[in-house]
Structure 1
């Protein structure tokens, strides 16, 4: 990419950072420059994402209708829950996910490389930091960033289906600070949509098969929850905490609480599903994905439920690898498509949030071709 795509932005002092992203102050994460995208690239990426989501829905219909969830390695006891949530999407709506893609700018072909559909992050920097930087530009520009508005719209639709004057929205995670601030971004949207919004770590949440989900207000005082948003992976639950997964399955089937994101997103989060799509719906949207590297000259090896760029290996045109906690997981093999690079040789991986529609673009930057924990976030504007 040429340097004329980038624009310098006045540095925001740590003390002046919006509270939503203040945790990142002092960290080498929020880049001061902004990346310019052509309007044609934005239009293309929005349509590309819509096509990707439509294709995932078609493939989901097929894999569920043909009872093939075992192909993904999902435990059999959770199959019915996934099927129920998919067949009753009005009661189990999808809130938000993030497609990650290679290329898509600078005349590079775009390919979706995964869908973070269950527990996506990067919400506060996408919603708040991008908007903050846009206002700092010396000339008025636009960006594709309607994520907060789309979240509020989706949550308002959920709120209308709850027949209580006071509807309670709880967000939970394992308690890592980055997850907490992502939960807070969703809580803020939920409050705007008409909910009473709260956060507590999952260890403080009470789950009852017959009565639903509660959190403790004080000693012996519990508040029923109408909507529970979690940054807690379904695959962790049904593999590591099957008792909790079974309780939640019962809660969902009895309509005691809306759980976001719903169980069927465990299909989309599973990278093996991309191999299923490749087999049954050959396309030019997703990077070609297989269960073996046979026949691939340049490919990327990934664990099926891996996250944050861990345990990835690039072989062929580039050679690189990363360590992590997912080494024992089953692997998939994707045809290698290059990421966009700048004149310094740094790599740019794009993301498109999806909440009913393609809602916001973001980019991460790293010197290493595997985008992971050490990546930086760069905002965009439309040239």
Structure 2
């Protein structure tokens, strides 16, 4: 795994915008093609195997939690628990997720967390960096079957009209939702975009409706489940008949409460870090809220060093062994390995000057050589 310098394409902005990637320069520099990471085929196969193995471990642990009623660590309201049980028993299908790994290409990747409900960075990881590869390193390859696998997955799980909802005015979320709408459309589905603030509720039918008062039956939402349960209309979810993507049971996977449970069930797994619900880990550790995003409220304790990120997220917390990110010239890289359905499907890399990856961290492309 090498960090290689490149000369950015003269037309890189227009190349990005051609595929709907309009937010390439958020915070000054988000998409960064002045560097890229080079892997070997063996390294990509190692990452792919770890991704699919951990996804299965997560599924097994979700089943154990639901069958045994082990919901206490997740600090969820009863309404959420019932929805999770129902969606799991109905075998509502999942669509996608992203594992975040710490890895420098040697030994085994170490899991930091699983973004299983509302992962972003999808457009960049799929078509944007694929175009970069074809322009800059056409003789190389890339761990990237995201576009094709998303189309195939939507053909498997899509039903009728699918609404795609994201927060109005949030360019990154809207861009990710519209890309997902596009691949569903390519899969042959009837698709409609709807700002999540524009979703209405019909008290007579009990249905959620769009701006044309048409009932919403299948909805892709780029909006976390734990936020839905806090919203005023959250009380109507169970009776609305909407099939959400992702399903409610993915909230368990998205919670960092899964990390100590996985460590309890699979101790010494090569891709897992020690994790606990108590501050009792030896050595350096990271404290994380059960529910947080974009590196919010993370605390790293490494000897005398304490590094903390701000944010609105509160406890309860979990504690996880500290696995430093790969670092080159002061740039810390986290590897985001994507899952479509149950299959590993691609890689996206974020870089930051800080060991804590945030929403302002840069996205950089990758390639591999056989």
Gaps in structure 2 of 5+ consecutive residues = none
CA-based RMSD: 1.9
The C-alpha deviation readout for 1:239-260, integer Å capped at 9, x for no partner, is x22x533322223xxxx33210
The C-alpha deviation readout for 1:210-251, integer Å capped at 9, x for no partner, is 55332113xxxx22333200011111122x22x533322223
Match of 1:99 in 2: 99
8 Å Cα contact 2:207-2:215 kept in structure 1? yes
Provide TM-score, normalisation by structure 1: 0.89
Match of 1:346 in 2: 331
8 Å Cα contact 2:114-2:254 kept in structure 1? yes
Question: Is 2:27 the counterpart of 1:42?
Answer: no
The C-alpha deviation readout for 1:291-324, integer Å capped at 9, x for no partner, is 1222321001111101100111111155321111
Q: Summarize the alignment of residues 231-250 of structure 1 with structure 2, pairs less than 5 Å apart.
A: 231-238=222-229, 240-241=230-231, 244-250=233-239
**Distance verdict in 2 for CA 1:65–1:139, change over 3 Å:** closer
Match of 2:297 in 1: 311
Match of 2:207 in 1: 212
8 Å Cα contact 1:168-1:224 kept in structure 2? no
Q: In structure 2, how many angstroms separate the alpha carbons of the residues matched to 1:57 and 1:134?
A: 33
- State the secondary structure of the residue aligned to 1:54: helix
Tell me by how many angstroms 1:108 deviates.
Answer: 4.9
8 Å Cα contact 1:7-1:36 kept in structure 2? no
Q: Summarize the alignment of residues 204-283 of structure 1 with structure 2, pairs less than 5 Å apart.
A: 204-208=198-202, 210=205, 212-217=207-212, 222-238=213-229, 240-241=230-231, 244-251=233-240, 256-282=241-267, 283=269
Match of 2:188 in 1: 194
**Distance verdict in 2 for CA 1:22–1:237, change over 3 Å:** closer
8 Å Cα contact 1:205-1:216 kept in structure 2? yes
Q: Summarize the alignment of residues 133-212 of structure 1 with structure 2, pairs less than 5 Å apart.
A: 133-159=132-158, 162=159, 167-175=160-168, 176-208=170-202, 210=205, 212=207
Tell me by how many angstroms 1:204 deviates.
Answer: 0.8
Provide TM-score, normalisation by structure 2: 0.92
Q: In structure 1, how many angstroms separate the alpha carbons of the residues matched to 2:68 and 2:137?
A: 56
Q: In structure 2, how many angstroms separate the alpha carbons of the residues matched to 1:136 and 1:191?
A: 27
Tell me by how many angstroms 1:14 deviates.
Answer: 2.6
Q: In structure 2, how many angstroms separate the alpha carbons of the residues matched to 1:289 and 1:36?
A: 31
**Distance verdict in 2 for CA 1:203–1:295, change over 3 Å:** closer
Q: In structure 2, how many angstroms separate the alpha carbons of the residues matched to 1:137 and 1:273?
A: 40
Q: In structure 2, how many angstroms separate the alpha carbons of the residues matched to 1:288 and 1:12?
A: 45
Tell me by how many angstroms 1:207 deviates.
Answer: 3.4
Match of 1:29 in 2: 30
8 Å Cα contact 2:127-2:147 kept in structure 1? no
**Distance verdict in 2 for CA 1:8–1:296, change over 3 Å:** farther
8 Å Cα contact 1:310-1:322 kept in structure 2? yes
Tell me by how many angstroms 1:139 deviates.
Answer: 4.4
Gaps in structure 1 of 5+ consecutive residues = none
Q: In structure 2, how many angstroms separate the alpha carbons of the residues matched to 1:231 and 1:24?
A: 19
How many residues align structurally?
361
The C-alpha deviation readout for 1:115-148, integer Å capped at 9, x for no partner, is 1111111111111211111111154211011111
Tell me by how many angstroms 1:63 deviates.
Answer: 0.8
Match of 1:121 in 2: 120
8 Å Cα contact 2:108-2:270 kept in structure 1? no
Tell me by how many angstroms 1:25 deviates.
Answer: 4.1
Q: In structure 1, how many angstroms separate the alpha carbons of the residues matched to 2:138 and 2:266?
A: 45
Q: After the TM superposition, which of the residue ranges 94-103 and 191-200 deviates more from structure 2?
A: 191-200
Tell me by how many angstroms 1:288 deviates.
Answer: 1.7
- State the secondary structure of the residue aligned to 1:83: helix
Tell me by how many angstroms 1:7 deviates.
Answer: 4.5
Q: In structure 1, how many angstroms separate the alpha carbons of the residues matched to 2:132 and 2:52?
A: 27
The C-alpha deviation readout for 1:170-189, integer Å capped at 9, x for no partner, is 11122211111110011001
Tell me by how many angstroms 1:36 deviates.
Answer: 0.8
Q: After the TM superposition, which of the residue ranges 39-48 and 127-136 deviates more from structure 2?
A: 127-136
**Distance verdict in 2 for CA 1:197–1:15, change over 3 Å:** same
